[in-house]
Structure 1
């Protein structure tokens, strides 16, 4: 790790200088556009800039040209309309656009919205069912449930191949819920015990309602510029040390041949090949947790432990008194509560929390003296991302 085996001139040349978010809720009363505008305006203001300063834009779900018009951004030199998650695509594109000189000030945003297929209540709302131009029949089987089929299969295979247990999945959920209790931004904050986890409603064996991300309405936005310009802006700059994507040649999760040939591993290998830092430098680890089994795989892919060893690693680093993971007694894991408890932001919340941790402005459990954050966004088994931020 951190041996710099490939060319990577963007290292430490770009910074995140503005962050904006909206409340996470089960029903915001706003459209996706309304949420994006609120988060983007907050990010621009946080950076000490105005809409006229933004000359690059990219985001998910809400089309970039529509967001640009709604925000009153007069002109951009770079825009990206690949609007589907994972959000790491838009972030990496923005970082590279700033570094290359295509733009000087990049706005990237992500919107999470409870569509008609994400819960039974949303499925009964005709407005939510027909959003994004993709009408869907009302169904008692939400996308969160039907989309969980492959992850339930992988979770069962993980348990079978490596001798893991449901308790191992439960510790991921409990860690995040414990941390969310300190985060007023989190949508689910009630403490979770192992007995409650094991007794929870099963959705797709072995995954319960606590193993799947907590769907919400909400948006996050970020302002990216050069590290040089960042020195003159009001917020403490968060430097992008490395940011990469990783994808296998299998385009859907159920086509993967095994639990090791994943986008997570591709992204992790690419990150360490471009980094001067190592895991020993990391103060905050933000692995994606759309499904609890993904987090176990991230511990392995990123290099904390070997394949199949994540359950033992979590146990060895479990703080029994605090009911949370503390790697080597100091590295916090998803201190904001992650997607399982703060809300299903498809990793935008992980990125926001990482930036705020390094600024000393964390939403939840502030890691004292945090200087390096490792974010593992995306989380799909076939495509993912990995980012190292530092101060």
Structure 2
């Protein structure tokens, strides 16, 4: 990873707004986001020579369809990637770093209509589609543990093993909802109290409605370029400082050995070895929160605190005046609201928020002087990921 460090940048971002039901097609949302990202980068469409597509578990929109819809004339590299977003980001970063491309557009889409059958299967423990296509081995009853089933089981294991309670889990959605109030693009902005959380419908013990991300329609897009090209573009370059993924020998939910042996710990170790910046250096922390237990455990896996101590750590870093987490009194956690309140975007929203913060474009939720960000997209099992981004130059003005 040393050879890739700071050599590739995110030079453009675009978004098709999140909503519970957009009433449009997935292709329309993707093309809107991609066009916005290319325009934001300042590049002509002829300069885009690579494309990587990603979508919710239904597979998203095919890259050839997007190329055709937008008339991108000079594509020499393309790939499809499953979520979370770092699968697509890493593919683009490697293509640019290898010299295969100079400017790659990455897109990710979320589409409730297309994902409906998937969600029904996951919610009721029925075949999730992965094993039936040779991808994973988690769908066969009676041991299938995909999605909410698996994370509820491991959340229960966490609370039991470390002697914790749902009070710890509640801190994640409460923090996210408080931050979403400052994000006009979040789909869930109504204030949430502790009483609201504990009064919510239980989905799978111990995870309630607010412990699980919000299904949405929407899309995000990013233009990935060589750093030297980014320096000549109108936007503030956000450098990809380090990337990592992690998967253990048994990455399926029902085969995972224990909470100390997951892809999350492996990713944290790999990211730490590749990055010059770590938890005491970053200005924004964006842990994945598809389920609240993933976020809670990330604080432990990445070294903020010891196993089982995340709840106490977060209470120690809870700003009572602002009623949210502020690490060391200054570093917000998911200032956009995260998947639990902005919308379930498989990490794409986290990546966009990191770029917006490092550009200084986050408006009322802007972190003063933000120059670096850490992200932990993905969960415990087959999709754990980590990213460190940084801004090299001072912000204009």
TM-score by length of 2: 0.88
Q: Which residue of 1 aligns with 2:37?
A: 43
Q: Distance in 1 between matches of 2:374 and 2:146?
A: 30
Q: Indicate the residue corresponding to 2:89 in structure 1.
A: 91
Q: Which residue of 1 aligns with 2:289?
A: 289
Taking the aligned partners of 1:267 and 1:119, their CA distance within structure 2 comes to: 27
Counterpart contact for 2:251–2:262, Cα < 8 Å: no
1:27 and 2:21 are equivalent in the alignment? yes
Change beyond 3 A, Cα 1:278–1:116: closer
Query: Residue in 2 aligned with 1:151?
Result: 151
Distance in 2 between the 1:42 and 1:216 partners? 20
- Displacement, 1:363? 6.2
Of the candidates 104, 109, 112, which is equivalent to residue 111 of structure 1? Answer: 109
Structure-2 residue corresponding to 1:328: 328
Whether the 8 Å contact between 1:19 and 1:222 is mirrored in structure 2 is: yes
Aligned equivalents of 2:363, 2:187: Cα separation in 1: 13
Query: What residue is the counterpart of 1:239 in the other structure?
Result: 239
TM-superposed deviation, 1:119: 6.9
Q: What per-residue deviation string (whole Å, max 9, x for no partner) do you get for residues 1-31 of structure 1?
A: xxxxxx5200011110000001110111111
User: Does the residue aligned with 2:312 lie in a helix, a strand or coil?
Assistant: helix
Once the two structures are superposed, the pairs formed by residues 188-207 of structure 1 within 5 Å of their partners are 188-207=188-207
| 8 Å Cα contact 1:212-1:290 kept in structure 2 | yes
The answer to whether 1:13 aligns with 2:7 is yes
**Preserved contact between residue 336 and residue 363 of structure 1 (Cα < 8 Å):** no
1:251 positional shift: 3.6
The answer to whether the Cα contact below 8 Å between 1:336 and 1:364 also exists between their aligned partners in 2 is: no
Q: Check if 1:53 corresponds to 2:51.
A: no
Match of residue 167 from structure 1: 167
1:179 aligned partner: 179
Q: In the TM superposition, what is the alpha-carbon distance from 1:153 to its structure 2 partner?
A: 0.5
Q: Distance in 1 between matches of 2:296 and 2:146?
A: 21
- Counterpart CA distance in 2 for 1:376 and 1:111 is 19
| Alignment partner, residue 382 of structure 2 | 382
Deviations 1:189-221 (A, max 9, x none): 011111110111000011111000001000000
Q: Secondary structure at the match of 2:299?
A: helix
CA spacing shift, 1:344–1:216, aligned 2, 3 Å:
same
Provide the rounded CA distance (Å) in 2 between the counterparts of 1:256 and 1:302: 19
Note the C-alpha offset of 1:254: 2.4
- Are positions 1:78 and 2:77 aligned together? yes
After TM superposition, where is structure 1 displaced by more than 4 Å over at least 4 residues in a row? none
| Alignment-derived partner of residue 130 in structure 1 | none
**Structure 2 unmatched runs, 5+:** 55-59, 124-132, 134-144, 392-397
Q: Could you tell me how far apart the structure 2 residues matched to 1:119 and 1:301 are?
A: 28
Q: Measure, in 2, the Cα distance between the counterparts of 1:106 and 1:81.
A: 13
User: Offset at 1:364?
Assistant: 5.7
For 1:337, the equivalent position in structure 2 comes to 337
SS at match of 1:34: helix
Q: Is the 8 A contact 2:181 2:189 kept in 1?
A: yes
CA contact (8 A) 1:356 1:363 kept: no
Q: Alpha carbon RMSD of aligned pairs, Å?
A: 1.7
Distance 2:381 2:331 in 1: 24
1:79-107 per-residue CA deviation (whole Å, 9 max, x = no partner) reads 1123x212211101111110110100011
Which SS does the other structure have where 1:172 is aligned? helix
**Alpha-carbon separation, structure 1, partners of 2:150 and 2:333:** 25
Hey, what does 2:358 align to over in structure 1?
358
What do the CA deviations read for 1:12-63 (whole angstroms, capped 9, x no partner)?
1111000000111011111111111000000000001122111011011211
Match of 1:139 in 2: none
Could you list the per-position Cα deviations for residues 96-152 of structure 1 after superposition, in whole angstroms to 9, with x for gaps in the alignment? 1101101000111100111224778xx9xxxxxxxxxx9xxxxxxxxxx97201100
Report if aligned partners of 2:47, 2:74 keep a CA contact under 8 Å in 1: no
> Deviation at 1:336?
0.1
Contact 2:30 / 2:108 at 8 angstroms: preserved in 1? yes
Number of residue pairs matched?
362
Q: Answer with 379-388 or 37-46: which moved more.
A: 379-388
Unpaired segments ≥5 residues, structure 1 = 1-6, 124-133, 135-144
How is 1:101-140 mapped onto 2 (pairs within 5 angstroms)?
101-114=99-112, 115-117=115-117
